[in-house]
Amino acid sequence: MPGPLLIDLSHTSHTRARTGVQRTARALWRELGGLALPVCHDPYERAWRPLENGEIRNLAAEAPSAGRSARWPLDARLRGLMRRWRRRPDPVAAASAAAPPWGFLEPELFSPAVAGAFASAAPAVRGPRAAVFYDAVVLKHPELSPRQTVARFPGYLRELLAFDGIAAISADSREALVSYWRWLGAVNPPPVVAIPLGVDPAPRPPAPSPARAEAPIVLCVGTLEGRKNHLALLEACDRLWEHGTRFKLVVIGAAHAQTGRPALEKIRTLQASGRPLDYKGPAAEEILNAAYAACAFTVYPSIAEGFGLPVAESLSRGKPCVCSRQGALGEIADGGGCIGLDEATPAALAAALGRLLDSPSELAALSETALTRRFRTWSEYTRALTDWMATLPASHAKVR
């Protein structure tokens, strides 16, 4: 490889959100290390440039935030405007003059402004340009998705045609993208491969201890938004509590300002009524790891996913998971350690949760199975992704 790999972190370097996209982008940046040149498209300079020290610190920050939006401090805006006024030479070309970048990687759900700037980055890159594709849930369930995302998504899918290759995060996501392009009538679309995501190495759980007096903990990790189906989970738990089932529900994840509000209001209502429910909001890795260690098992009520990181992370820690067996979630659940549901309705969720809470032997058997599961690490994911990229031919004539 003659030079570094350019990786676009325009959004991730300006937010501390911990959605699946941000976790993937940060993991790639971390694992690539000195092999990559992290860049962003500066909307004030109107140019691509290497990340500044403050943006690098933001990538490395442990504390998550509830908001997903990118934030540009005033001083960063002023610096960008000043550089634009001075018309400095191409900063990416200058930073990689000794060894031109061998490729360009887009791990984010990029904005129209960033998409419009891809052509300006092409001259600095001698090799292929690839993008990570997460899911098409917005197309399948627009009623559960933010209005702005629904409006943006068809344009985003068309803009992906400009890349030399697309790495979908599951077979289900790959099929969704290929099917959409087929329906669109796209001519000579780029190749799409399925490269499942990695997970952080997790410590094995301690040996089972004698039964404790306190109620078992059921953990749910995931952003509170419409498609994550928290309302069904909360209704299921309330039914179990009403019938005297002893357990505590712990929920971790930021609430989406638009589609997560109903679930957040339901949580507050249940807490006010005295239900054993702990909502921790967005949590740092230390808190998340402690929650996984303390729980008996996890539940992921999401209706549809591109991959399902919380399910893989749960199983990698030896914790069984109740989740859907459809789509990408089914790709994970079918390997064992899960109770897979045909539909994540309140009734189905209540039955599955109650079953595990009432059957220590089944829970133990599922835990043993979960411990046998093998998930690729982020390092292995990064290697698989870059190895595949290296096989792609560059075709910048496709930029449009």
Map out the domains of the chain as residue ranges.
Answer: 5-198+378-398, 217-372
CA distance 353 to 366: 13
**Crossing angle for the helix pair 309-316 and 360-372, nearest 10 degrees?**
100
What pLDDT score does 327 carry? 93
**Model pTM score:** 0.91
Token pair, residue 148, equals 């702005």
Residues 6+ apart with CB under 8 A from 135: 169, 172, 173, 176, 304, 305, 306, 307, 328
What pLDDT score does 336 carry? 95
What pLDDT score does 210 carry? 46
What pLDDT score does 95 carry? 66
- Is the domain 217-372 a CATH 3.40.50.2000 member? yes
What pLDDT score does 197 carry? 96
Going residue by residue through the chain (400 aa), what tens digit of pLDDT does each one get?
Answer: 468 999 999 999 998 877 889 999 999 999 999 999 999 999 999 989 999 999 999 888 776 666 667 888 899 899 889 888 887 777 777 666 678 899 999 999 999 999 998 888 877 788 899 999 999 999 988 888 888 889 999 999 999 999 999 999 999 999 999 999 999 999 999 999 999 999 987 765 555 554 555 899 999 999 999 999 999 999 999 999 999 999 999 999 988 888 889 999 999 999 999 999 999 998 888 889 999 999 999 999 999 999 999 999 999 999 999 999 999 999 999 999 999 999 999 999 999 999 999 999 999 999 999 999 999 999 999 999 999 999 998 764 444 3
Question: How close are the terminal C-alpha atoms of the chain, in Å?
Answer: 27
Helix residue spans in the chain (DSSP H): 20-32, 53-60, 74-86, 91-95, 112-116, 118-121, 137-140, 147-159, 171-184, 230-242, 261-272, 285-294, 309-316, 327-333, 346-358, 360-372, 378-389
> Coil, helix or strand for 62?
coil
CA distance 135 to 156: 12
Token pair, residue 130, equals 């690839």
**CATH for the 5-198+378-398 domain, from 3.40.50, 1.25.40, 1.20.950, 3.10.20:** 3.40.50
CA distance 164 to 27: 22
What pLDDT score does 398 carry? 47
Fold match flag (5-198+378-398 vs 217-372): yes
